[in-house]
Amino acid sequence: MLILFETSLGVTLFKLKDGKMTDPNLFKEFEDSESASSLLKLKAIHKFNSTTEALEDITSLQDGKLTKSLKKFLQDNIQSDKKTQSLAVMDPKLASTIAQKLDVNVVSDSTTIDLFRGLRSQLPNLLNGIQQSDIDTMSLGLSHSLSRFKLRFSPDKVDVMVIQAIALLDDLDKELNIYAMRVKEWYGWHFPEMAKIISDNIAYAKIIKLAGFRTNIPQTDLSGLLPEDLEQAIKVAANISMGTEISQTDIDHILDLSEQVISISNYRSELYDYLKNRMNAIAPNLTALVGELVGARLISHAGSLTTLAKYPASTVQILGAEKALFRALKTKHDTPKYGLIYHASLVGSAPQKLKGKMARMVATKTSLSSRLDALADAETKSDMSSATIGLEQRASLESRLRALERSIGIQRTRNEADVGAKKQSKFEYETNGNGTYNTNTDNLLPTQPTAPATEENGDGLTEKERRKAEKKAAKAARKSLGGAEEEATPSSKKRSRDDDEEEDASPKKETKEEKKARKEAKRAKKAAKSE
Instruction: Quick: pLDDT tens for 355-383.
Output: 999 999 999 999 999 999 888 765 555 55
Q: What are phi and psi of 10, to 5 degrees?
A: 170, -170
For residues 339 and 523, which has the higher predicted lDDT (pLDDT)?
339
> Has residue 100 been placed in a domain?
yes
User: Across-strand partners of 47?
Assistant: 10
Q: Which has the closest alpha carbon to 231: 250, 247, 210, 246?
A: 210
Does 224 share its domain with 314? no
Provide Rg for the chain, Cα atoms: 44
According to the model, what pLDDT value does residue 169 have? 94
Does 213 share its domain with 296? no
> Has residue 369 been placed in a domain?
yes
Q: Which has the closest alpha carbon to 4: 100, 85, 83?
A: 85
According to the model, what pLDDT value does residue 172 have? 94
- 432/427 Cα distance (integer angstroms): 10
- 157/436 Cα distance (integer angstroms): 82
Instruction: Give how many domains the chain has, as a whole number.
Output: 3
> Has residue 355 been placed in a domain?
yes
> Has residue 40 been placed in a domain?
yes
Does residue 426 surpass a pLDDT of 50? Answer: no
Does 55 share its domain with 122? yes
Does 234 share its domain with 299? no
Query: Residue 241 is part of a domain; what is its CATH number?
Result: 1.10.287.4070
Q: Which has the closest alpha carbon to 397: 431, 437, 366?
A: 366
End-to-end CA distance of the chain: 104
List, for residues 280-327, the tens digit of each pLDDT value: 988 999 999 999 999 999 999 998 898 999 999 999 999 999 999 999
Q: What are phi and psi of 355, to 5 degrees?
A: -65, -40
Pairing of strands 10-16, 106-107: unpaired
Our CA angle for 471, 474, 480, nearest 5°, is 140
Does residue 433 surpass a pLDDT of 80? Answer: no
For residues 477 and 505, which has the higher predicted lDDT (pLDDT)?
477
Q: What predicted TM-score, i.e. pTM, was given to this entire model?
A: 0.55
> Has residue 455 been placed in a domain?
no
Does 142 share its domain with 165? no
- 310/101 Cα distance (integer angstroms): 37
> Has residue 450 been placed in a domain?
no
- Domain termination residue (choose one: 408, 438, 472): 408
Contact 183, 193 (CB under 8 A): no
Name the strands in the sheet holding 10-16, side by side, starting at the edge strand that comes first in the sequence: 40-47, 10-16, 2-6, 87-88, 106-107
- 350/398 Cα distance (integer angstroms): 10
**Range with top average pLDDT, 18-22, 42-46, 227-231, 457-461:** 227-231
Does 239 share its domain with 171? yes
Does 17 share its domain with 117? yes
What does DSSP assign to residue 343?
Answer: G
According to the model, what pLDDT value does residue 174 have? 94
Does 404 share its domain with 306? yes
- 99/282 Cα distance (integer angstroms): 35
Does 51 share its domain with 89? yes
Query: Residue 341 is part of a domain; what is its CATH number?
Result: 1.10.246.90
Query: Residue 33 is part of a domain; what is its CATH number?
Result: 3.30.420.220
Does 168 share its domain with 143? no
User: Exposed/middle/buried for 273, CB within 10 Å: 0-12, 13-18, 19+?
Assistant: exposed
For residues 482 and 100, which has the higher predicted lDDT (pLDDT)?
100
> Has residue 170 been placed in a domain?
yes
What does DSSP assign to residue 15?
Answer: E
According to the model, what pLDDT value does residue 81 have? 63
- Domain termination residue (choose one: 116, 151, 186): 151
Q: Which has the closest alpha carbon to 346: 290, 279, 391?
A: 290
Mean pLDDT of the chain: 78
- Domain termination residue (choose one: 151, 186, 218): 151
Does 142 share its domain with 88? yes
According to the model, what pLDDT value does residue 442 have? 43
List, for residues 23-45, the tens digit of each pLDDT value: 555 655 666 666 666 677 777 88
Domain extent at residue 358: 283-408
> Has residue 31 been placed in a domain?
yes
Length of the chain: 531
Does 196 share its domain with 329? no
According to the model, what pLDDT value does residue 58 have? 81
Does residue 415 surpass a pLDDT of 60? Answer: no
